[in-house]
Structure 1
């Protein structure tokens, strides 16, 4: 049986941001786990304002649902 996979709209997205600015060594500052994209954007904006760093790795987790195809 084949299945379709989709994001569970009732599941909470979790965001994590890490500063990867730097030529020889990444800054390494990290946001910790946050709920929603807006707190992640605010964290990046605040870090950029404080340090001038402007390159980040964003990671998010979600919940998925599988359903029979057809």
Structure 2
């Protein structure tokens, strides 16, 4: 018995139905971190908050993070890939129940 595995180039795409998330946390402190955090709608908002927080407190160390949602799409009409085989998508029965 032999198997043929085909390698396909999948595409990572940012999910257009969501927005990226940005946050910054002040980690200035010797015994414990300040801990003040902002969750922002964009990198510019997070940077502006850090600038103002530094201006108000003198704190200068931050942990900045960003996150987004992605979809992983197979090339063309490859269908759903299961290790060892390619399964073509099937139409759902009327009512949308997959069982």
TM-score by length of 2: 0.59
- 1:55 corresponds to 2:92: no
Give secondary structure in 1 for the equivalent of 2:37: coil
Match of 1:7 among 11, 14, 21: 14
Segment drifting more, 38-47 vs 60-69: 60-69
Query: Please, what TM-score do these two structures have when normalized by structure 1?
Result: 0.79
What is the CA distance between 1:61 and its match in structure 2?
A: 1.7
* Displacement after TM superposition at 1:9 (Å): 5.7
Gaps of 5+ in 2: 1-6, 77-99
CA RMSD of aligned residues (A): 2.1
More helix per residue: 1 or 2? Answer: 1
Residues paired across the two proteins, number = 69
Larger radius of gyration: 2
